[in-house]
Every structure is written in C-alpha cells, then in structure tokens.
Structure 1
C-alpha cells in the first residue's frame, strides 16, 4: 500500500479520493462528504462505485487521509455496509426525455448546473 498522506478532517476531503476496504482493496472514490449541519457532525461519505453511488456511514470510516479513505470492513463485506443513494423515483426520472435534455443542456452551459443535476 502506498503512502496515503496525513490524517485530515472530512471537511478537507476532495472528490475523487480513493476509498479502500480495511485490507486495502479499492472499493470506490469519494463523491462528497455529508455533514449534519446543525450539529457540525460528520455523517458519512457518498462514494462512486462500479455499482453506482453508495453511502458510507460515519461509523464505518476508520480513517480519512489526504489521498485515501479507509473503511472498517473488508471488501467482501462492502455490499452489506454500503447503502444505495437516491430514491426509486430519481432512478426512473433519470432516464426520461426531459432528464436527458437537461443533462445535455447542462453540459453545454456550465459545470455548476451539471454538478447540481448529478447531486440530485
């Protein structure tokens, strides 16, 4: 395993940072960290996996480094611990004609609109 850098706060975590299981197997990359804003508490991390967006709950995060996030579970247990993100309605609406047009429009206009659409 390579040097993951110093331990950092979840607030300094960057999109695209590698997420690894306890034994070092890559299970995804960071999309964004979630916070309980009213209480300023770390809630978890939304990650991109081969199976789509998944939520890694805060108790399942062992350490957050500059270049990697380490989970508390093994790669074999990942499916049990990672929760799907989004609703069934969002999945259905994501493939409608209007949604496809909006994605094309957002791609032509600005990255801000596109990232807002992706966070839905």
Structure 2
C-alpha cells in the first residue's frame, strides 16, 4: 500500500534498482531492466534481480508503479516461481536514461 510520499509514475520513468514487491507488500527483488516494444510503444514487462537470479515479470503482472517501488499482482508463491528472462521473447530493451537525456529528447536537444 502506498504511503503519502509515494506517487504513481509511468513505466517510462521507472529506474533500475527500484524495489519490486508482491501484491501483499513482500519485497522480492529490484528492477534491472524495463522492457518496451519501441515500435508500438508498449510496456512489455521488467526483468527483476532476485536473490535467486534474474526473473521476468510480464507487463500483465505489474499492478502499479510508484516513485519508490513496483507493486506486482503476484503472490509470494508466484513470485518465487517466476521464469528467468528468455531472450527470444524480448522485443526491445529500454536502456536507462538520465532525466537530462529524457528532457533533452523531449525538447529536441542532444547531449554533446
């Protein structure tokens, strides 16, 4: 459950290192990569670094994205049985960008 300091954000603002938790608030890893199909601008999911290794969380399993964490629709049991990422199913990986780079792209400026 979000507290007063948490604000919902779009997947485009999600940063690596953000904690990921189950639907009942149990943290099970951190965001490693945000996956996006750039051709159609569709959020595809996230790769989460867990103590057991990298795991794939499909976009349909992501409930809410906040400034300080990602809340999935998964139970703790479901989170434990997440599959590792399968490179053949990844459409495109959205690399992390700094806020300055994102703003520069919005306003047509490029970093030098």
Structure 1 runs not aligned, ≥5 long: 88-120
| Distance in 1 separating the partners of 2:64 and 2:20 | 10
Number of residue equivalences: 86
Q: How does 1:20-59 map to 2 (within 5 A)?
A: 20-59=21-60
Structure with higher RCO (Cα < 8 A, 6+ apart)? 2
Normalized per residue, which structure has more helix? 1
| Distance in 2 separating the partners of 1:83 and 1:47 | 10
Q: How does 1:1-120 map to 2 (within 5 A)?
A: 3=3, 5-80=6-81, 82-85=82-85
Provide the residue aligned with 1:105 in structure 2: none
Which TM-score applies when normalising by structure 2?
Answer: 0.70
Report the alpha carbon displacement of residue 77 of structure 1 after superposing the two structures with TM: 1.8
CA RMSD of aligned residues (A): 1.7
Structure 2 runs not aligned, ≥5 long: 88-112
Tell which structure's C-alpha radius of gyration is larger: 1
Detail structure 1 runs of 4+ shifted over 4 Å in the superposition.
none
Report the alpha carbon displacement of residue 76 of structure 1 after superposing the two structures with TM: 1.8
Report the alpha carbon displacement of residue 16 of structure 1 after superposing the two structures with TM: 0.6
| Distance in 2 separating the partners of 1:36 and 1:2 | 28
Which TM-score applies when normalising by structure 1?
Answer: 0.66
